Amino acid sequence: MIIKKVAIDLGTTNVLVHVPKNGIVVNEPSVVAISKVDKKVLAVGFEAKDMIGRTPDTIVAERPLKDGVIANYHTTEAMIRYFINKALGGVRLFRPEVMIAVPAGITSTERRAVIDAAVSAGARAAYIIKEPIVAAIGADIPIGSASGHMIIDIGGGTAEIAVISLGGIVSWGSVRVGGNCFDASIQEYIRRKYGLAIGERTAEAIKIKVGSAMFMNKPLTMEIKGREMISGLPRIIEVNSDDVTQALEHDMENLVEAVKQVLHDTPPELSADVMDKGIIMSGGSSLLRNLDELISQATGVPCFMADDPLLCVVRGTGIALENLESYKRSILATK
């Protein structure tokens, strides 16, 4: 009997699905479009994301996850079902085993909601594993060794900071700073400085094209379109990376403070290990320009970017699912 296995990185911004031997088969936005009239799911992923900010009153395009946990149960269940079907094909003889990565600070109720949603969506068995652990596995960190390794996983909703030794988390912290938070800060700053209202997607484009965590010697610039607050008319302006650095100042302070707190809570022997090896960064939002440099300067600890930071969590979840026996101590809950 061949039981299919599916590893899911259920992120606030993106959902990634890994199938052993096939690699990453799905990488789509975690957005669902629903009809308000009959509560039917109209679109999921890229198709639904295109609808954000452009829907009529009868349709709502929403992210069912907030800060890495389920905010809307039924929509999340529909989304998980859609991505499992997309990964494995519609017709299956056996229900798959599913492993889902969740934030380290998840409560038992939130954990139960994730498991129930996965089982309702068609999973034969569901496993839950903490994101910092799988991010470290995906970043090729030997988490089973008796040595301290520090990882910062910055996603769409939260930044998870953890020191790992002997396969477990020794000290950790979580702060609600991530890609969505960055986008909201950019929107607010552009509205305040230029009197221009911009949408989520424009803010995200600014962050990706010209965003920087620190002031640059040669700031990057780009043109953006928005609606002028006073006249209500469309307008084009030019923004640069210094605007983004100022917009994200508060978020960066919160992130650095959380990293310092985790280092403060780490036993001295493991602190020495972290100092030797440096901090590894993963998650899509860690790609913000000069963020590793900012953390390195603020803490005095070298900071490095993992290879393919966006894929670390899902790759690590896939490895843990294929080697359940080796990682069973790291698994939080099963059903």
pLDDT of amino acid 267: 94
Which of 208, 224, 247 delimits the end of a domain? 247
Are 282 and 309 contacting, i.e. CB atoms less than 8 angstroms apart?
Answer: yes
pLDDT of amino acid 21: 84
Q: Are 59 and 109 members of one domain?
A: yes
pLDDT of amino acid 52: 82
CATH for 27: 3.30.420.40
Question: Among 69, 49, 51, 261, which Cα is nearest to 156's?
Answer: 69
DSSP 323: T
pLDDT of amino acid 325: 80
pLDDT of amino acid 333: 56
pLDDT of amino acid 195: 96
pLDDT of amino acid 335: 58
pLDDT of amino acid 324: 82
Q: Are 204 and 262 members of one domain?
A: no
pLDDT of amino acid 149: 96
Average model confidence (pLDDT) across the chain: 91
Helix-helix angle 73-88:108-120, to 10 degrees:
50
Q: Are 62 and 116 members of one domain?
A: yes
Q: Which amino acid is at 93?
A: L
How confident is the prediction along the chain (335 residues), in pLDDT tens digits per residue? 466 899 999 888 899 999 988 888 999 999 999 998 888 889 999 999 888 878 888 999 888 988 777 888 888 988 998 898 888 876 667 889 999 998 888 888 888 888 999 999 888 889 999 999 999 999 999 988 889 999 999 998 889 999 999 988 999 999 989 999 999 999 999 999 999 999 988 999 999 999 999 999 999 999 999 999 999 999 999 999 999 999 999 999 999 999 999 999 999 999 999 999 999 999 999 999 999 999 999 999 999 999 999 999 999 999 999 888 887 777 765 65
Q: Are 292 and 151 members of one domain?
A: yes
pLDDT of amino acid 177: 92
Which residues, listed in sequence order, are joined to residue 238 by a DSSP beta bridge?
Answer: 223
Q: Are 327 and 210 members of one domain?
A: no
Q: Are 155 and 258 members of one domain?
A: yes
Q: Are 101 and 20 members of one domain?
A: yes
Residue-wise pLDDT for 136-191, tens only, equals: 999 999 988 889 999 999 998 889 999 999 988 999 999 989 999 999 999 999 99
Q: What is the reported pTM?
A: 0.89
Are 317 and 99 contacting, i.e. CB atoms less than 8 angstroms apart?
Answer: yes
Structural domain span for residue 63: 5-133+313-334
Which of 247, 275, 298 delimits the end of a domain? 247
Q: How many domains does the chain have?
A: 3
Q: Are 262 and 302 members of one domain?
A: yes
CATH for 240: 3.90.640.10
Cβ-Cβ contacts under 8 Å for 46 (sequence gap 6 or more): 28, 29
> Where do the H-state alpha helices sit in 89-138?
108-120, 131-138
pLDDT of amino acid 332: 65
Q: Are 189 and 222 members of one domain?
A: yes
Q: Are 294 and 146 members of one domain?
A: yes
Residue-wise pLDDT for 271-281, tens only, equals: 999 999 999 99
| Strand 279-282 relative to strand 303-305, pairing | parallel
Q: Are 86 and 155 members of one domain?
A: no
Q: Are 327 and 203 members of one domain?
A: no
Coil, helix or strand at residue 282:
strand
